[in-house]
Amino acid sequence: MTVKTTTKVFGIEQIMLYPISADNSTAYSVSSGVELPGAKSLEVTFVIDEKNLSGNELILDIYSKVKKLTFSATFAKLELDILKSSLGGVLTQNTNAGGNSAVLSVQNGGNTGYFQLVAKVSGTDEGSLFLHLMKCKANAIPIKASESDFATFSLSGSGIYTTKKFTKNSTTAEILMDIAMFDNVQAISAITS
């Protein structure tokens, strides 16, 4: 039996960030995932490189190719492990007589790391729907606080193709994003093969 390829989509149930520990010609692996607490939204946009062939004041042909993607995720609660995984830095836990603390220090010279972003979509017709953004880097993490409302947190960035080539239906290629539909309920997890 084939799985349906059409479904309604109601909302985001869960978003996880998995730091990439290896992506080369022979291996793709991720570390343990960290949840974006209180996932509110996810927007993904494919960036398409387009070139026009023109002559005689007409467009004769168009070449287009998906170059990368951009994303923006909004979530409800601050999670220092998300900031550490996407910005880099050092997270320390301190215990002293004056009180305990957790401090994330984003330091000069640090390079932001790559991660796989996975969203579980709710409100589908049946089963589960997942969006796997295979190799992402953050380029903005705004924290929006106001006087009389809860703060919201966002993580936005770009996704590129993996270095590792994956084989899907007898085709081997680098992967930008997988959209996976299941006819039963599945738990959220990263794709590594």
pLDDT, tens digit (0-9, with 9 covering 90-100), for 5-58: 888 788 899 999 999 999 999 999 999 999 999 999 999 999 999 999 999 999
- 9, 17 Cβ separation under 8 angstroms: no
Low-confidence ranges of the chain (pLDDT < 50): none
Residue 56 lies in a domain: no
Which pTM value belongs to this model? 0.88
Full 3-state SS string of 19-43: EEEEECCCCEEECCCEECCCEEEEE
Residue 71 lies in a domain: yes
- 116, 135 Cβ separation under 8 angstroms: yes
The four Cα atoms 62, 65, 66, 68 give a dihedral, to 10 degrees, of -110
Residue 191 lies in a domain: no
Residue 112 lies in a domain: yes
Contacts of 91 (CB under 8 A, 6+ apart): 80, 81, 84, 102, 103, 104, 105
In the 8-state DSSP scheme, what is residue 87?
Answer: H
Residue 68 lies in a domain: yes
How many domains, the chain?
1
Which backbone phi and psi does 8 adopt, to 5 degrees?
-80, 160
Residue 2 lies in a domain: no
**Whole domain around residue 114: which residue ranges?**
11-51+62-89+103-182
Residue 192 lies in a domain: no
Residue 45 lies in a domain: yes
Beta bridge partners of 103: 92
Q: What is the pLDDT of residue 66?
A: 96
CATH code of the domain containing 178: 2.30.110
Q: What is the pLDDT of residue 4?
A: 78
173/74 Cα distance (integer angstroms): 31
Helices (H), the chain: 80-87
Which backbone phi and psi does 42 adopt, to 5 degrees?
-145, 130
